Amino acid sequence: MHYYCISFTHKNTDIATREKLSFSNDDKKREFLRLIHSNNKILESLLLSTCNRVEIFIFLADSEGIHEFVLNSLCLLCDVNKEELNLKADFYEDSGAIHHLFSVASSLDSLVVGETQIAGQLKDAYKFSLQEQRCGVNITRAVHYAFKCAANVRNQTEISKNPISVASVAVSKAKELINLENKTAVVIGAGEMSELACKHLINAKAKVLILNRDLEKAKKLSEQLGSNVNFESIANLKEILNTYEIFFSATNAQHAIIIDELLEEKNYTRYFFDIAVPRDIDLKTSDKIVVYAVDDLEEVVRKNLTLREHQAQIAYSIVGNMTNDFFKYLSKLATLPLVKQLRLQAKEIAHKELQKAINKGYLKSSNHQEAQKLINQVLNAFLHHPSVNLKKLSGTMQNDAVINSMRYVFDLKNENLEGLNHYKCEFSLENQNEI
């Protein structure tokens, strides 16, 4: 059994390819999970898709051929060249896969180190996989531990102090280019990223105009954000594009919605910040049309990374320790039931043999209790050292080999771990919408 992860991120994959790989609707996610589960080696799976990453996290019976199979599945569903994917993807197995998952959950692998959105996105991905019955006890354990690790990183470092997101980085870049105070900034979309952009713009003393297809949702968001926020239908997009100067777009559209044909010539510069993947904006740039996409915000991100570098080192040591702890935890889950089964099997055999002896007249029934006590004492003495040694092995490299050997030698079956809440997610999202 193996944990396995295939990862496409801002670090290894350009935005054009990430757009193709984007799983922005549930039907496409559902189809991909169905497709990869046609391989009976894949026992559990979780798909995390955000503007900066696509992570395919899998629990496997056998990893042979899985690399090829998952890439073929992506090519089939996302219309991407396989050789290109093979060159870009990062692959992780077992401890490497768990370390990567914990790093992602702790926001150490994010474009903006320390941003807090990723935890909520991972939780949503986990819940979706669970609802689709693609996720069981093994990925659940890993995700539980990932949230525990993320909490330790938050509590033991300052990496998320004054947390920032891609939306905040985009607004910071806008502030470098233009004075936002009392300016009207247009935010297209009314989802989580758009809401964050609105909050940062309000904090910069800008006025905000929200455009959205669902007017009721736009109205609700504008009322929630306050008097400096208005809303209009996205049906008025062309008119608004030719009226204002500053635009932030974060919709779930599968294709660009802001294109050259919608723009009229103006004698002032218009600034467009595309914080969506797939991209919302496809414009020819000029001295009057300036466009920033997610990957263009690297300069601000680098400044953020430099400020947080020391804290990141501390955080990575936490992730490393938590990865080791996770595998020790798994070893204990395997070792303790084995000890229990070994003792139960020995007692059952002893009880049967004692009953045979009484039935055949080798022992008197009146001696049953004394004989049972003696047998229990012998069994406890005999099993003491094996039990102690098995517990000592927990978390070591030899653990799995010894456990498998013991199961084979004594014909011990795998035991379901009663009492373990397989599906409870112990992570609570607090202060998710940071400023």
pLDDT in tens, 341-361: 777 888 888 888 888 888 887
Exposure b/e, 97-111, CB count within 10 A at least 16 = b = bbbbbbbbbbbbbbb
* The pLDDT of residue 188 is above 80: yes
Alpha helices in 226-297 (DSSP H): 237-241
Q: Which of 104-118, 220-234, 237-251, 269-283 has the lowest mean pLDDT?
A: 104-118
Distance CA 150, CA 408 (A): 38
- Check the annotation: does 117 bind a ligand: yes
Strand locations in 37-158 (E): 42-49, 53-60, 90-93
342/364 Cα distance (integer angstroms): 28
Q: How far apart are CA 434 and CA 168, in angstroms?
A: 9
What is the DSSP secondary structure assignment for residue 289, as one 8-state letter?
Answer: E
State pLDDT tens for residues 300-329. 666 666 656 778 888 999 999 999 889 877
Instruction: Give the closest residue to 254 by CA, choosing from 293, 282, 227.
Output: 282
Q: Is the pLDDT of residue 85 over 50?
A: yes
Q: State whether residue 45 is helix, strand or coil.
A: strand
- Consult the annotation and say whether 189 binds a ligand: yes
At 106, list the tokens: 């702790």
Dig out the tokens for 168 from the structure. Answer: 């905040």
Give counts: helices (H), strands (E), the chain. 14, 12
194 belongs to an annotated ligand binding site: yes
Other beta carbons within 10 Å of 290:
15
Does the pLDDT at position 387 exceed 70?
yes
Looking at per-residue pLDDT, the higher value among 417 and 174 belongs to 174
Asked whether residue 51 is marked as a ligand-binding residue, the answer is yes
Number of other residues whose CB lies within 10 A of the CB of residue 378: 12
Residue ranges with strand state E in 158-282: 184-188, 207-212, 229-233, 246-249, 258-259, 270-274, 281-282
Strongest mean pLDDT among 103-117, 214-228, 345-359, 400-414: 214-228
Model confidence at 72: pLDDT above 50: yes
pLDDT at res. 323: 93
Average pLDDT in the 390-402 region?
63
pLDDT of residue 427: 40
Point out the residues that are catalytic.
51
Average model confidence (pLDDT) across the chain: 84
191 is in an annotated binding site: yes
Residue 374, Cα to own-chain centre: how many angstroms?
Answer: 54
Listing DSSP states for 136-180 in one string gives -HHHHHHHHHHHHHHHHHHHHSSTTSS---HHHHHHHHHHHHS--
Q: What is the pLDDT of residue 425?
A: 43
Instruction: Flag whether 355 is marked binding.
Output: no
50 annotated to bind ligand: yes
Helices (H), 286-367: 298-359
- CB within 8 Å of 206: residues ≥ 6 apart: 180, 181, 182, 183, 184, 185, 228, 246
* Helices 66-78 + 26-36 axis angle, to 10: 150
- Express as a percent the part of the chain with pLDDT over 90: 48
At 185, the pLDDT band (50, 70, 90 cuts) reads very high
pLDDT at position 306, please?
65
Show the CA angle centred on residue 145, arms to residues 93 and 88, nearest 5°.
35
190 is in an annotated binding site: yes
